[in-house]
Structure 1
Amino acid sequence: MFAELPLTALRSFEAAARLSSFKAAAEELHVTPTAISHQIRQLESWLGRPLFQRQPRGVALTDDGRRLFRDVHGALLEVAQSVAVLRPRPDAGCLTVTTSTSLAALWLVPRLGRFYARHPDIAVRIDTSAQVVDLEQNAGVDLAIRYGGAVPAGLHRHGGLREFFGVYGAPGRTQAEAAKSPPTLISVEWGDSQLYCRTWEAWCERAGVDWLQRAPTVRAYDEEHYAMYAAGAGQGLVLASSVVVAGNVARGLLEAYRPEIVVPGETYHVLCVPGRERHPPVRAFLAWLDEEMGVSEPAS
C-alpha cells in the first residue's frame, strides 16, 4: 500500500517547507543542502508539479506545496506522537502555549497553580511574543489562545472563551469618578484597532451617558494590564474585558461600575495543529482549560 511512497523525500519536503529553507532543513535532518535539493527535485518530478518557488533568500511554497505540507506535516506529527507514547522522550512532559501578554498575565498564569497541582510532571512554557506564530510552520508550539477573528483553515479549534466589556474603577471610588464632569477614561490602543473606541461608544450608549461628548480626558495604554493597574490606582475608569479583569476584581483591586451594563466582545479560541490535541500533555492541558473557562476567578 505504501511501497511507492517516497518517504525520505516527503520528510525532506516537510522540513524544508516548515523552515522555509533547504539549508535549515539539511541541518535539522543532518544531511547536506544538496541532498535536500535532490530529494525535493525527485518529489516534484514524481508528482509532476512544482512545490517550491526558488527565491534569492530561501524558498516559498506554491499552492500545491502548501496543500501537501498541511497533509504531510499532520501525518508525520501523528506518527511522532504515536511513537512518543511507546518511547517517551525526556521532554514528553512539556508543552508550549502562545498567547497575548495580557491574557497570559491576567488570566492564564494566575490559574496555572491549579494545573500544576493536578499535573506536577507537566511543564508549561508561555510564549507571549507579539508576532503571531504559524502553528503549521512552528512545530515547537503546541497550542495558541487567540483573540477573535476567523479560525484559520487547517487548524483544530478546541473550545472558546467569550468576553463581555464593562467599566471598572478603584474600589470605593468609582461613583465619585463617574460623577466628575467629565470623568477620566482609561482605554487600550492596539495599533490601528478601533475595538476599544467602538466599545466605549457602545457602552456609553447603553448606559445613557454623554461622557464622550464632553471631551473627557482619555488615558490610553498599549497593553490591558497597564490600563488595569492605572484604574486600580485611582486614575480613572477603565473599559475592560470580563476575561482579563476577573482576577483584579476577585482580589479586590477593581470594582465594576454599573455592572448591569455590558457590551459583548469577541471569543478567545484555543487552536492547534490537527492531531496534536491527542498528545498526552496537550490533552491534559485542554481538559483543564475546559474547566477554567467556566470559572470566573483565578486560583487564590
Structure 2
Amino acid sequence: MFADLPLTALRSFESAARRLSFKAAAEELHVTPTAISHQVRQLEAWLGTPLFERRARGVALTGEGRRLFDAVHGALLDIVHRVDSLRPQRSVGSLTVTTTASFAALWLIPRIGRFYQQHPELSVRIDTGAQVVDLNLDAGVDVAIRYGGTPPSGLVRHGGLRERFGVYGASDRIERLAADPAPTLIGVAWGDSTLYPCSWAAWCERAGVAWLGPDTVVRDYDEEHYAMHAAGAGQGLVLASSIVVAGSVARGLLAPVRPDITVPGETYHVLTVPGRERHPPVRAFLRWLDAEMRAL
C-alpha cells in the first residue's frame, strides 16, 4: 500500500514548503540545497504537476503544492505526536501561541494562571511578535489568536471573541466631564487600519457629543495597553475594545462613559493548521480557551 510512496521526497518537500526555501530546508535536514531541489523535482515528475514557482528570490507554492503541503504536514505532525507519546521518557508538554501584544497583555496573560491550575504539567509560550506568523509554514507555532478580517484558507477556526468599542476613563476623570466639553481623547494608531478614527466618530455621533473637531487633542499610542494605561492615569478618555478593557474595569482602573453607547469592532479568531488540534497540549489549551471565551 505504501511501497510506492516517495517518503524522502515528501519529507524534503514538506520542509521546503514550510520554510519556502530550499536552502533552509537543506539546513534543517542536514543535506545540500541541490539534494532538496533534486528530491522536489523527482516528486513533481512523479505527480506530473509543479509544486513550486521558482522565483528570483526564493520559491512559492502552487495551488497543487499548497494542497499537498496541507496533507503532508498534517500527516507528519500526527506521526511526531504519536511517536512522542510512545517514548518511555516524554518531554514536558508545551505549545506556542501567537497573538497581538495587547490581547496577550490585557486578556490572555491575566487568565493563563487558570490554565496552569488545570494543567500544571504543560507550558505555554506566548509569541507577540509584530510579524504575522504563517501557521502553514511555521511548525513551531501551534495556535494563533488573530484579530479581524477573514481567517486565511487552509486553517481550522476554533471559535473566537467578537468585540464592541466603548469609551472609558478613570473615575475621577469621568466625574469632571460635565465641566469639560472638549476632553482629551486617546486611541491607537494602527498604521494599516482606520478602525479607531471611524469608531471615535461613530461613538460621538451616537452619544450626541461634539468631541471631535479641529481643536480636539488626540493622543494615539502604538498598542492598546499603552492607551489604557494612559487613560487609567487620568490623561484622557480612551476608545477601547470590550475584550481587552474588561480586566481594567473589573479592577476599578477604568469605568465606562455612557455604557449604553458602543460601536461594533472586529473578532479575535482562534486558529490552527488542520490536525494540530489533536496534539494533547494543544487540545487542552483549546478546550480551556473556549471555556474562558464562553464565560464572557
Place the TM-score, normalised by the shorter chain, in its bin: over 0.9
Q: Does the CA-based 8 Å contact 2:168-2:256 persist in structure 1?
A: yes
Q: CA deviation at 1:183?
A: 1.1
Q: Does the CA-based 8 Å contact 2:167-2:240 persist in structure 1?
A: yes
Q: CA deviation at 1:26?
A: 2.1
Q: For 2:37 and 2:11, how far apart are their aligned partners in 1? A: 12
Count residues in correspondence: 296
Q: For 1:86 and 1:164, how far apart are their aligned partners in 2? A: 46
Distance 1:88 1:208, change over 3 A: farther
Q: CA deviation at 1:89?
A: 7.0
Alignment match, 2:36: 36
Q: Which amino acid aligns with 1:41?
A: R
Q: Does the CA-based 8 Å contact 1:178-1:237 persist in structure 2?
A: no
SS at match of 1:2: coil
Q: Which segment drifts farther, 29-38 or 185-194?
A: 29-38
Q: Does the CA-based 8 Å contact 1:6-1:43 persist in structure 2?
A: yes
Alignment match, 2:209: 209
Alignment match, 2:159: 159
1:73 aligns with 2:61: no
1:145 aligns with 2:169: no
Alignment match, 1:250: 250
Q: Which amino acid aligns with 1:205?
A: E
What are the Cα deviations for residues 256-280 of structure 1, in whole angstroms up to 9, with x where unaligned?
Answer: 1111111121110000001111111
Distance 1:123 1:178, change over 3 A: farther
Q: For 1:90 and 1:224, how far apart are their aligned partners in 2? A: 39
Alignment match, 1:221: 221
Q: Does the CA-based 8 Å contact 2:9-2:42 persist in structure 1?
A: yes
Counterparts of residues 100-249 of structure 1 (less than 5 Å) = 100-177=100-177, 179-213=179-213, 215-249=215-249
Q: Which amino acid aligns with 1:227?
A: A
Alignment match, 1:86: 86
Q: For 2:89 and 2:171, how far apart are their aligned partners in 1? A: 50
- TM-score w.r.t. structure 1 length? 0.93
- TM-score w.r.t. structure 2 length? 0.94
Q: Which segment drifts farther, 194-203 or 170-179?
A: 170-179
Q: Does the CA-based 8 Å contact 2:96-2:141 persist in structure 1?
A: yes
Q: Which amino acid aligns with 1:226?
A: Y
Measured on the aligned residues, the alpha-carbon RMSD in Å equals 1.7
Q: Which residues of structure 1 form unaligned runs of 5+?
A: none
Distance 1:278 1:88, change over 3 A: farther
Q: Which residues of structure 2 form unaligned runs of 5+?
A: none
Q: Does the CA-based 8 Å contact 1:177-1:184 persist in structure 2?
A: no
Distance 1:212 1:52, change over 3 A: same
